[in-house]
Every structure is written in structure tokens, then in C-alpha cells.
Chain A
Amino acid sequence: MGTSILIKNLTKRFGNVVAVNQVSLTIQPGTFLTLLGPSGCGKTTLLRCIAGLEDPDAGEIYIGDKLVFSSAQGINLPAGQRNLGLVFQNYALWPHMTVFKNMTFALEIQKMPKPQMAQRVQESLAEVQMAGYDERYPREMSGGQQQRIALARMLAYRPKVFLMDEPLSNLDARLRIDMRAELKRLHHVSGATTVYVTHDQIEALTMSSDIAVMKEGVIQQMDTPDRIYRCPANLFVADFIGSPKVNLLEGRADGANSIDLGKFKLAANTRGATGHIVVAVRPEDIAVSPTAAPNAIEFKAYSVLPSGADSTIVAQREGLEVTVRVMGNSKIKMDDSIWLTFNADLLNLYDKASGNLIVSS
């Protein structure tokens, strides 16, 4: 039921700022694509270009097989003719209209008959579990309820593409987690192609079928959540994804299967790489032992931070700091000696100069 979106070399400038820089994307029908990146990286701008609310400087956008924007041909289809729905960060519910009026606005423009319209409203309200709220005004509802109504307003006219700009960012933490499940369900049921903007990586990792990580208007990597987490294409993505953060250790590879980190050497599958490299290892991929073990390296527990389900240990050795995550409540005390084992198969190696992945785990 969804439709594909194809973006070619899209560029949007604001004065000197290049908000979206030569972006090319193919979004398959029914995909849940998340645009993820730090503040100001151009996520919203890209989304608004797709929606037709922004006038890009160059490139092409197809929705389905319809060309909706082309700078070369001077085509720019108005937002209303692109058959897509948009949920704004602040919901943008019209404050002077009831929920019902908010939801029928688009249907009236499509000249839908009245009885069908009322039925559509009831259906959509039910889909977001807000049945019975049709006569409320937006200010008479809580933030979470308004959020659902914003979704329902979009669902009511059954667009082929859902666009959402940080729809959960104004909700409190609990509600945000509940809504993630709801949104994912909604996407599953409707099958609409969804482009979702967030700077919350957990949201991205949990909900998406694909993630596009952006930095300064450029897409760094577009992949499945698992690949984004496991095999970040460059140091930026590696560093941006994951909490606690990935360990980045600088060293030299000399062609043999080991990396010289200065104070000690690390066994790794370098596959012939040489020169300055950066080793990336996720905190949960390091094994910890309170006693000496073969091939383990001795560290000191600088700080131990239990958080219930798991514990984070900050370990130090001769000025080198490594973060480790272990399941459960760790028995390790601060200032204890600990032995860390780095699994050579779980290391990603990056070229120091370019920051690009050279050897993936």
C-alpha cells in the first residue's frame, strides 16, 4: 500500500548554510526510514523538501513514479498534491477547531461526502485510541492526547506517505516509550512508507526498518539498524550511535594481526591494513574478569556505575580510558584491578585520516 520515494542529488541552501547537501536516497514502498543526526544536520529540511514545504536548490524527488520536484525541469508540485501526511514536532493542531474539524479539514477539501467523513474520523480516532474526543478543542487535551490527534488527523485522509518530524520529542519519557510501540504498530498496520525524523538514537534503532545517519547535510550511512550499530561506516556514525559511547582507541597497524596502542598491543584481524588507525569497540563487546586471564590486559576500575539491568565500568590504564558494559549488577569495586579481554572478531578498524571503515567485524 505504501509508495516508493526516490531522491536524487538534492541540495538545499539557506544563505551560506548548506542544509541538505547532494542527498540521494531510495526508499522502498512500506519502509520505515528514520533520519537520524545531531541538531542542525538538516533532517527537518530534508523532510520538508519531500513534503513540498521547502523549495530545494537542486535535485529531483519522485514519489511513486510521479516527479514532484525537479530543478532542471523547474517542477515543484505543491505539498497538497503530493498525497502525503505530515506530523509536526509541535503537532500544529488548529487551536480554533475541534478535533473533528481538524480531522475533516483535508477531507472537506477532497469533497468527501459527509457520512463517509464522519465514519473516517471515527475509524482514525479508534486507531489512535482516542474515540470520543471529537468535540474537544486542542487546548482541552494533554500533550500526549494532542500527539495522538495529530496522528489521527494525518491518518484520516489516508496518505500514501507518512512524514513525521520528531513527533515524540514533546512527550515525557514514559509516554515516549509507549508511543514508540504504537507508532511502530500503526506503520505495520497501514504499511505506509514512513520517513521519521529524530535525534534520539534509541527511537531510531527500535522503530526503523532503515536508518539514514546525517551530518552537516550529508547522509553518512543508510542501512538497517543492526548494520548501523554493528558496522558504522565511519567514525562519526560509530561515535554517534550507541550509549554508552563506543570506545575509540588510536593506534598503529603494522600489517601483522596486531595493533600497537602505545602501552600494549591488541590482537586484531587487520587484514593487511597498515598505518594510523582507530579501533572501535562497543562497551558490551569487552569481557571483564576480576582475575588475571590469558590474553587479558590489566586495567584499574576508575568508576563503577550500576544501573539495574547492567553496569558501566570506566577502566583506566596508563592514561588510556575504556568504557565497559556488563550485564547485571557488577561485583567490581572502584580501584579494583580488572582484566579486559578484547575479542579480535568484534573490532571495527577505521582509517585515522579519512575516518572511514577499513575492516569490519
Chain B
Amino acid sequence: MAFPTTYQPSFSLQLLAAWRRFMHWLTSAHVILALLMLALMVYLILVPLYRMIETTLTYQEKDIHYVPEAVTGEFTWFHWTRMLTDEIAQVMTYAPLQHSLVISIGATLLALLIGSALAWMAVRTDMAGRNVINTLATVPYIMPSWTIAMAWTVLFKNRTSGGSPGIYEFLIGASPPDWLAYGPVPIIISSALHYYTFFFLFVSAALMSIDSNLEEAGELMGASRWRILRKITFPLIVPALLSGFIMTFSKVMGTFGGPNVLGIPVGYYTISTMIRADMGLGNYADGFVLAIVLILFAMTTVYANQKVVGTRKSYETIGGRGFVAQRTRLRKWKTVLTAGVIVFQLIVAILPLAILAFSTFMLIDGEYTPSNFTLHYWIGESTPTISNGVPGVLRNPDVYKGAWNSIALSLWTAFFAALLGVLLGYAIAKGRGTRLSKLVEQLAFIPYVIPGIAFGAVYISMFAKSVGPIPALYGTFALLVVVSVAKHLPYSARTGVSAMLQVGRELEEAGQVAGANAWERFRRIIFPLTSPGFISGFLMTFITTMRELSLIILLVTPSTQVLASMTIRYLENDDTQMANAVIIILVTLVLIGNWLISLFRGGSLKKGLGM
């Protein structure tokens, strides 16, 4: 018999070595953090998604009205067949889906046109006042997305939905046609005017980063201007256009404010407003089916875009290197174009607010005469004959409560988003290249592809009942914070990772060699070096949360109203002036926040915009 001659460590020794290696891995700070983050995201993202799908696949209590033999909690395809194949599906699903697509595509294309044209003029022509154009281009995006929609109704509403005439009818005498007053056309226009900022920023960054040598090379070879634009410039900005496209498209798909203000009065439902309607009726499962459909659409676009543009580009803005490119001379068109652009921007940025403000001074909605002027909606005492006795907004404790809620929500969200950004950034950047790090990063990316209203819907299913140690959060302020933080995870992760990556790994390793433990390294090296990034991320989150509506509309209750949701509630009660006054307060708060940001980093919104 032959004996093995090579040394074989005993099984127990091997086991011990494996155990030590495992513990070594498990006790490194970034692994601990990554595992914690993983658990958190499973809980905040995957479990809610799972619960939502589960709900659509089981009988709910209400289903007994439709299916007599339904047993609550049993598996069924009922909701899916009902929403996708029954007769009712046309009204409940397909029409809204079609509307959502029409609006998203229309608004995206219009925004693309406006945004890239302005970007090209601001970057590549000798137009005057380019700084003004740059600044004004971000203003519509800073305002809540449905501001323009609300101003639109003040201007163009007609009597189709009952109620009072708009300014247009008052001035012209004739009622504006339905297509102009409500439905897809105004929704598309108002959304495009809000979202063109994306295209403007992406495209101008791309244009600035194009080395003008590339174009000059073409010029030297004798190519015409137009040919250069088509063959050289355009292909170079395609990634920027696609990024803008994907962002705008998925935002508009999930947007609630505009379609609610301009679509509902004529029964023009989109997926998002339909989800809300279903939820309002207590048909959660139906709403969830729609939410899933919406998520699938958004995901498809994002992944299609990634296939085309290459991984993750869509999710990153393109950093401008700031070449001084040769500018196209506008010659005799210069004055006209400059004036035209600036007037256009002023109209988009200021006119809506002016109209809304104007309407709040009209005692009776629709009568635009001096005698009708009032300050009641701002400072009036409660009068039973006006707005069911609701006092003016500045005297109304509900409004103060809402404003406070808005601020508190934004602060908490910004705080937790920054905190998670630090943790996620460390876990992902430190473990870069490992499967765990990739998993954490991918999970953190998921909320990006879930439209706001669907994300809110997900959270209804999750926190309606208490599960184990987690209380039923539905109806609480905490839930609003949780959902806002969760929806913000992609941006937190992004801010965190880029802040961490800016700190070269040697800086931390030098601390490691010097004997500092993970906490010391974090406290004395990493945190001091990354904090500026996190502070500006904090401020950015603060103002984006302040004007968030789609995400929380399904989750607010009377006691947790924020300003954004109050505008919708007032509109639904036909208190147009109140709604308009509240949105002006909201805009004011947002502008103050934005001003603080510019003080802090002396720059524009560009860096963190929408991200």
C-alpha cells in the first residue's frame, strides 16, 4: 500500500483556516457596511416590491364584490386578467397607458428640441447674454413640476369642467377649445417647459466638452458647417441626448401633478393619475398592477438606453472640460435671436408665477376686474361664504403645518440621504470590483427606474400593516421620510461613490499602515476629505424633496400634508386661489433653498441637478 507523500493539513486545520479567513473578511469595515446596506436595501426596496407583486396575485377583501367565491389571501390571476384582458382593461389600463406614452414621448421630444437648441445657442454661438440664458434655463426645473400646469389652467381653462372662465376667455371673449385647455397638448407643453433643463444642461456640457479641434479638423478638410454639425458634432452629443431622453421620459411617465391638474377635468387619465384613482377607491391590487406596468416600461427604457449608450452613462452627467470652442456668428440674427430666447425664458420662468400670483388676488375666480381685487386668500379671516370658511393662507394653521412638514421632511430626508451616501459610498468604493460591492451598487440603482408614483404605491403595500418589529407606518410622517430617502438612494450612492473615489485609496492605506483602525481612518481621513461633497448633496436633496409630489401623493394623510400635496388638495376642493397661493409659498421656499445652495458653493444647480 502506498502512503501519500505530500503533506496534507488535517481537515480540522483546514476548517480553522477557512474560518479565520471568513472572519477576516467579515470584520473588515467595508464588508460590514456593505452587508448592512444590503440588508437595508432588501428591506427598503426588494421586500416592498415583492409585497406589491404578491398583493396583485392574491385575493383582497374587496374582491368579494366582483368574485363571490374569492377567499382573501388565496392565489389568483384575477387582478391581472381584469386589468389586462377584461373589457374594463381598455379604460383602466390601455387608455391611460397610451396617454402616458403620448405625453412622455411628446414632452420629451419637445423638451429635447427646446433644450438642445438653447444649449447650442448658449455654448456655440456668439449670442449676447449667455450667462442670463444659463441661469434662466434652470429656473423652471427648480419650481415644482406642476406650477406651469396650474398657471395654464388659470390662463386657458374653459367651462367644460364647470366652474369659472380663464384669463384667455375673459380677455378674448371666446372660450378656448378643449384641446388647448385640457388634455395631452397642455400637459405635454407644461411638462416640456419644466424638463427642458435636463437637455439644456446635458447638451451644453457635452458641447463644451467636445474638443473644437475635432470640428476644426473637419473644417480644414473642407466640410461645410452643416455637414460638420451632422457628422461630427451630433454623434458626439448623442450620449447626452439619450441621457436627457431617458431621464425626461421616465420622469414624465411617473409624473402626477401635471396630468392631475390638466387631465382629470376632462377625464384624460394617465397611468399615474389612474393609480391614484384606484388607490382612492381602495383597489390597491389594481393600482399595483398599473404600478408594475409603469415600472416595466421605465425599466425597459433605461436598459435599452444602457444597451445603446453603454453601461451607466445615462446615469452620469458628462463633465465639461471647458474648451473654448469656436462660436458660430449669428450676424444680423444676433439681436433678434437673443431677444427671442430671453423673452421665451422669462415667459417660462416668470409668467406662470405672475399668473398664479395674480389669480390669488381675485375674490371670485374668473372675474379679472379691479373691483374683484382682494387680499382675502392671503390674509383674510375665516368667512363662511368663501372657500367653506378656510382663512387666508397666511392665517391658516394648516398651511403653517404644511410648510413646517415640507421643511421637516426635506431636512430629514437630506440628512438621511447624506448619511446613507457616506455609508454606501464607502461600502461600494472600498469594495470596488467585488461582487458584494456590485450587488450593493445595483440594488441602490433600482429606485431610479421606479417612477415616483409607483414607488409611493410600493410603500403602501409595505407599511400598511405592522410586520414583526416594524410598526405599521402608514399615515405617519416617518413613512414620508422613509419613502423619500429610499427613492433617493441612487443619488445618495452616486454622490457617495464619487466623493469617496475622489479620495485616492492610498490616503486611507497610509492610515492603515500607520495603524489606524477603520473608525479612526474614517473620522480623521475620509470624512474630512469628503464632507464638502456631502454637504452640497445635502442641500440638493433638500430642495428636490421640497417640491416632490408624485412620490408622496399616495402616502400623505390630512395630518402629514406637505405644501406640495396641499396644492393638489385645494385644487380638488375647487379652492383655486388657495392652491395657487400655497404653490407660491412653496416656490418661495424652494428659491430660498436654492439661493442658500448658490451661497454655499457659489455655483449653479448644474452639479447635482436631478441627480
Interface 0/1 of B517-556, CB less than 8 Å to A: 1001000110011000000000000000000000000000
Q: When the two chains form their complex, are residues B17 and A53 in contact, meaning their CB atoms are under 8 A apart?
A: no
Measured CB to CB, the closest approach of chain B to A102, in angstroms, equals 9
* A73 to B21 Cα, complex, angstroms: 9
Closest to B508 in A: A92
Q: When the two chains form their complex, are residues B509 and A74 in contact, meaning their CB atoms are under 8 A apart?
A: no
By a CB distance below 8 angstroms, the chain A residues around B510 are 86, 88, 92-94, 153
Q: When the two chains form their complex, are residues B513 and A86 in contact, meaning their CB atoms are under 8 A apart?
A: yes
By a CB distance below 8 angstroms, the chain A residues around B509 are 53, 79, 86, 88, 92
Q: When the two chains form their complex, are residues A74 and B512 in contact, meaning their CB atoms are under 8 A apart?
A: no
- Out of B24, B512, B520, B529, which one reaches A76, CB within 8 Å? B24
Which one of B20, B24, B509, B515 has the greatest number of beta carbons of chain A within 10 Å? B515
B507 at the interface (CB under 8 A from A): yes
Residues A81 and B515 in contact in the complex (CB < 8 Å), given A74-B18, A74-B19, A109-B520: yes
Closest to B27 in A: A78
* A84 to B510 Cα, complex, angstroms: 11
A71 at the interface (CB under 8 A from B): yes
Q: When the two chains form their complex, are residues B511 and A95 in contact, meaning their CB atoms are under 8 A apart?
A: no
Interface 0/1 of A149-170, CB less than 8 Å to B: 0000100010000000000000
By a CB distance below 8 angstroms, the chain A residues around B529 are 94-96
Interface 0/1 of B12-43, CB less than 8 Å to A: 01001111110010000000000000000000
Measured CB to CB, the closest approach of chain B to A322, in angstroms, equals 44
By a CB distance below 8 angstroms, the chain A residues around B528 are 96
Measured CB to CB, the closest approach of chain B to A59, in angstroms, equals 13
Q: When the two chains form their complex, are residues B16 and A79 in contact, meaning their CB atoms are under 8 A apart?
A: no
Q: When the two chains form their complex, are residues A88 and B514 in contact, meaning their CB atoms are under 8 A apart?
A: no
Q: When the two chains form their complex, are residues B512 and A78 in contact, meaning their CB atoms are under 8 A apart?
A: yes
Q: When the two chains form their complex, are residues A80 and B506 in contact, meaning their CB atoms are under 8 A apart?
A: no
Closest to A157 in B: B514
By a CB distance below 8 angstroms, the chain B residues around A93 are 510
A291 at the interface (CB under 8 A from B): no
* A350 to B302 Cα, complex, angstroms: 60
Interface 0/1 of A59-75, CB less than 8 Å to B: 00000000000111111
Name B475-528 residues within 8 Å CB distance of A: 504, 506-507, 509-517, 520, 524-525, 528
A37 at the interface (CB under 8 A from B): no
A330 at the interface (CB under 8 A from B): no
* A158 to B417 Cα, complex, angstroms: 42
Measured CB to CB, the closest approach of chain B to A117, in angstroms, equals 13
B68 at the interface (CB under 8 A from A): no
Q: When the two chains form their complex, are residues B513 and A73 in contact, meaning their CB atoms are under 8 A apart?
A: no
Measured CB to CB, the closest approach of chain A to B576, in angstroms, equals 54
Residues A80 and B515 in contact in the complex (CB < 8 Å), given A71-B17, A73-B16, A74-B18: yes
* A93 to B9 Cα, complex, angstroms: 44
Q: When the two chains form their complex, are residues B516 and A73 in contact, meaning their CB atoms are under 8 A apart?
A: no
By a CB distance below 8 angstroms, the chain A residues around B13 are 72-73
* A80 to B521 Cα, complex, angstroms: 12
Closest to A86 in B: B513
Residues A80 and B512 in contact in the complex (CB < 8 Å), given A74-B18, A109-B520: yes
Interface 0/1 of A17-60, CB less than 8 Å to B: 00000000000000000000000000000000001110100000
Interface 0/1 of A123-165, CB less than 8 Å to B: 0000000000000000000000000000001000100000000
By a CB distance below 8 angstroms, the chain B residues around A109 are 514-516, 520
Count how many chain B residues have C-beta atoms less than 8 Å from C-beta atoms of the other chain.
26
- Out of A71, A90, A96, A106, which one reaches B515, CB within 8 Å? A106
By a CB distance below 8 angstroms, the chain A residues around B16 are 73-74
Measured CB to CB, the closest approach of chain A to B447, in angstroms, equals 30
Q: When the two chains form their complex, are residues B17 and A74 in contact, meaning their CB atoms are under 8 A apart?
A: yes
**Overall SS of chain A's interface:** loop
Name A239-274 residues within 8 Å CB distance of B: none
Closest to A96 in B: B528
Q: When the two chains form their complex, are residues B24 and A84 in contact, meaning their CB atoms are under 8 A apart?
A: no
By a CB distance below 8 angstroms, the chain A residues around B19 are 74
Q: When the two chains form their complex, are residues A74 and B21 in contact, meaning their CB atoms are under 8 A apart?
A: yes
Closest to A90 in B: B506
Measured CB to CB, the closest approach of chain A to B258, in angstroms, equals 46
Which one of A51, A85, A86 has the greatest number of beta carbons of chain B within 10 Å? A86
Q: When the two chains form their complex, are residues B506 and A105 in contact, meaning their CB atoms are under 8 A apart?
A: no
By a CB distance below 8 angstroms, the chain A residues around B17 are 70-74
By a CB distance below 8 angstroms, the chain B residues around A116 are none
* A232 to B509 Cα, complex, angstroms: 36
Q: When the two chains form their complex, are residues B517 and A80 in contact, meaning their CB atoms are under 8 A apart?
A: yes
Q: When the two chains form their complex, are residues A92 and B514 in contact, meaning their CB atoms are under 8 A apart?
A: no
Closest to A159 in B: B513
* A53 to B509 Cα, complex, angstroms: 7
By a CB distance below 8 angstroms, the chain B residues around A354 are none
A110 at the interface (CB under 8 A from B): yes
Q: When the two chains form their complex, are residues B24 and A74 in contact, meaning their CB atoms are under 8 A apart?
A: yes
Measured CB to CB, the closest approach of chain B to A156, in angstroms, equals 9
* A79 to B521 Cα, complex, angstroms: 13
* A51 to B18 Cα, complex, angstroms: 22
By a CB distance below 8 angstroms, the chain B residues around A74 are 16-21, 24
By a CB distance below 8 angstroms, the chain B residues around A153 are 510
Q: When the two chains form their complex, are residues B513 and A51 in contact, meaning their CB atoms are under 8 A apart?
A: yes
* A153 to B9 Cα, complex, angstroms: 42
By a CB distance below 8 angstroms, the chain B residues around A52 are 512-513
By a CB distance below 8 angstroms, the chain A residues around B512 are 52-53, 78-80
By a CB distance below 8 angstroms, the chain B residues around A76 are 21, 24
- Out of A75, A96, A157, which one reaches B20, CB within 8 Å? A75
Interface 0/1 of B157-193, CB less than 8 Å to A: 0000000000000000000000000000000000000
Closest to A76 in B: B24
Measured CB to CB, the closest approach of chain B to A96, in angstroms, equals 5
Measured CB to CB, the closest approach of chain A to B248, in angstroms, equals 38
* A73 to B12 Cα, complex, angstroms: 11
Interface 0/1 of B415-443, CB less than 8 Å to A: 00000000000000000000000000000
Q: When the two chains form their complex, are residues A106 and B24 in contact, meaning their CB atoms are under 8 A apart?
A: no
* A240 to B524 Cα, complex, angstroms: 43
Which one of B506, B510, B512, B525 has the greatest number of beta carbons of chain A within 10 Å? B510
Beyond known contacts A53-B509, A94-B510: 6 more, CB 8 A cutoff: A73-B20, A74-B24, A79-B515, A80-B513, A86-B513, A109-B520
Chain A interfacial positions (CB closer than 8 Å to B): 51-53, 55, 70-76, 78-81, 84-86, 88, 90, 92-96, 105-106, 109-110, 153, 157
Q: List 6 A-B contacts (CB under 8 A).
A: A55-B24, A72-B17, A94-B510, A105-B524, A109-B516, A157-B514
* Interface pairs A-B: 10 shortest CB-CB: A74-B20, A80-B515, A74-B17, A106-B514, A92-B506, A92-B510, A74-B21, A79-B512, A88-B506, A86-B513
